Structure 1
Amino acid sequence: MMDMQQIITKLTTQCSEKAFELELKLADNRVLQEQLLQKKKITLNNNSTKVDISSEKEVDCAQQETIDLKSKLQFKEAKIEKMKYEHLTREAALTENKLLEEEYKKKLDEANKELSLENDLAACEFLLLS
């Protein structure tokens, strides 16, 4: 019984930790999206104000940085989706554990009742035989 409670406590703690990590990842994504927006603005400004070869190189660099940031963002999003899945899986396991614990308690109560009835019956037989 204590093992079930310890498992439930451990799983609950893990879920909380994963939820916190998920919040951190979401915050990181917001920062990356803001950086990506800033890079796009810089790229647009560079395109409109500079026409020479050096500005084209700067634009290419900014575009490459934008591509890199998009890749990082996609990676973070995939990681968040994985964490969401893991979180849901843990929640399902917790729910299943609770159901199993309830079923265990019911069966334990039934067994205790049966044992009590058997003890009462044995006591009656003893009294009748004595």
Structure 2
Amino acid sequence: MKELAEKIMSAAADLRRLEAGWRPTEVDLEEAVGLDDWLQGIDCETKQHVLIGQSVGHPILGDQLITTSPVLWISQDRKIARTLSRWYRLRKPAALVTAHQTSADRAKPEDPGPLRG
């Protein structure tokens, strides 16, 4: 329980600072986990927004496909995210393919558009 309370307090402090205009620096993000081929999803059980992607340097899960804890904030440029547990450096987003795309269209991935959270 103590660990969860600490995560909530840390996340709340970061959200207050973000609301006041602060943005994390390179130093703040030195230990942030990288997330490649990521996309935004919704946890089926909790209905909360999460990120799904290939982690790079996760301190517990290592480098593998993960689903993050609930997303609390994503930068406008979609390069940084704060979840309940930690900061993430958002790297390359997943290339999405729609049913109406031809095989030629699939060769050139499109920008998935703005995230809303």
Query: TM tier, shorter chain?
Result: under 0.3
Q: Greater helix share, 1 or 2? A: 1
When normalised by structure 2's length, the TM-score is 0.22
When normalised by structure 1's length, the TM-score is 0.20
